[in-house]
């Protein structure tokens, strides 16, 4: 009998290429993937953990996922509300198997699984398609609203800063009417690129609708975000945006609102305040930054 050793080699290489992941199935960060390397991963609400999840009921350091020999384990870190594996509360350390579901807090469920590099690429594409605007690459409105709500709850609970920056293109209808809709799309793509290059890694940039965009800034004051808005405003004004050989002059108007400077009871109030400041900027001449004021 002739044994095809090349087949065994391929199977072995395939097994070795598999990588352990945590995928967020439900909760504020739905769709995110966390690759589990040889180090421990702590999960919780603290800014110092490797996997930060802003969900009601999750402790600052809630649980950890770690490798021990060939196995991967989940361990509760004496969290207030417990860690659940496939619906059962764990008491100590439990080994994870492909497909296991981990529940933390009130809404977050993570799936433990093994993927190769092709699976990882596919999952990331699915994540981007569900949560990002296909044209600009910014997060979409649905994800933005959900994320703003969870960030607001966290900031209110810890009395920390959370500021929202809203901006849109001045006279965007005129751009479409004068240069055509493909030119308008080119303007939005360029504007998104400029915004991505202006924000911090921890900021969230989203397309709120049409030509209106938003930036969620955690842990900073309204004045600091106003400086960000002014920097972005100047960058847009001074940028050369072209389409089909024609230069399109563009400016933006910006509105900023935040807590704890303003007294807010909900994320929707914060959104309304930032949007009101944005339209105040438009009413007073456009191409400027306005800060929200107390009612």
Q: Which residues are catalytic?
A: 211
175 in Cβ contact with 184 (< 8 Å): yes
- Closest by CA position to 289, among listed 189, 197, 201, 168: 168
Nearest Cα residue to 138 out of 192, 94, 191: 192
> How far, in Å, CA of 165 to CA of 213, rounded?
8
Backbone angles phi, psi at 219, to 5 degrees: 75, 20
Residue 97 DSSP symbol: -
Please state, in angstroms and as integers, the Cα–Cα distance from residue 94 to each residue in 21, 22, 51, 85, following that order. Answer: 16, 15, 19, 8
Residue burial 219-244, b: 16+ Cβ < 10 Å; e: rest: ebebeebbebbeebbeebeeeebebe
Count of Cβ atoms closer than 10 Å to residue 207 Cβ: 23
**CB contact at 8 A, 212 and 167:** yes
CB 259 within 8 A of CB 273: no
Residues 6+ apart with CB under 8 A from 35: 19, 20, 21, 120
HEC string of 121-174 equals: HHHHHHHHHHHECCCCCCECHHHHHHHHHHHHHHHHHHCCCEEEEEEEECCHHH
């Amino acid at each position: 009998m002739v044994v095809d050793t090349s087949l065994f080699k391929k199977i072995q290489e395939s097994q070795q290429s598999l990588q352990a992941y945590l995928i967020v199935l439900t909760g504020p960060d739905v769709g995110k993937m966390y690759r589990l390397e040889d180090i421990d991963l702590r999960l919780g609400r603290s800014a110092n953990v490797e996997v930060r999840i802003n969900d009601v009921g999750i402790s600052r350091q809630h649980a950890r996922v770690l490798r021990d020999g060939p196995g991967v384990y989940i361990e509760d870190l004496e969290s207030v509300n417990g860690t659940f594996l496939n619906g059962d509360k764990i008491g100590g350390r439990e080994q994870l198997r492909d497909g296991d579901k981990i529940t933390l807090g009130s809404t977050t469920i993570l799936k433990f699984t093994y993927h190769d590099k092709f699976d990882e690429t596919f999952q990331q594409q699915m994540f981007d398609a569900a949560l990002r605007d296909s044209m600009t690459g910014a997060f979409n409105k649905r994800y933005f609203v959900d994320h703003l709500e969870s960030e607001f709850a966290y900031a209110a609970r810890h009395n920390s800063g959370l500021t929202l920056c809203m901006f849109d293109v001045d006279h965007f209808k005129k751009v479409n009417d004068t240069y055509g809709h493909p030119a308008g799309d080119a303007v939005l793509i360029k504007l998104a690129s400029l915004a991505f290059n202006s924000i911090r890694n921890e900021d969230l940039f989203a397309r709120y609708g049409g030509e209106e965009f938003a930036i969620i800034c955690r842990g900073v004051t309204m004045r600091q975000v106003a400086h960000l808005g002014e920097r972005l405003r100047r960058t847009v004004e001074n940028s050369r945006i072209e389409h089909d050989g024609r230069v399109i002059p563009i400016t933006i108007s910006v509105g900023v609102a935040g807590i704890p400077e303003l007294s807010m009871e909900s994320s929707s109030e914060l959104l309304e305040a930032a949007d009101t400041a944005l339209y105040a900027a438009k009413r007073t001449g456009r191409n400027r930054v306005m800060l929200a004021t107390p009612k």
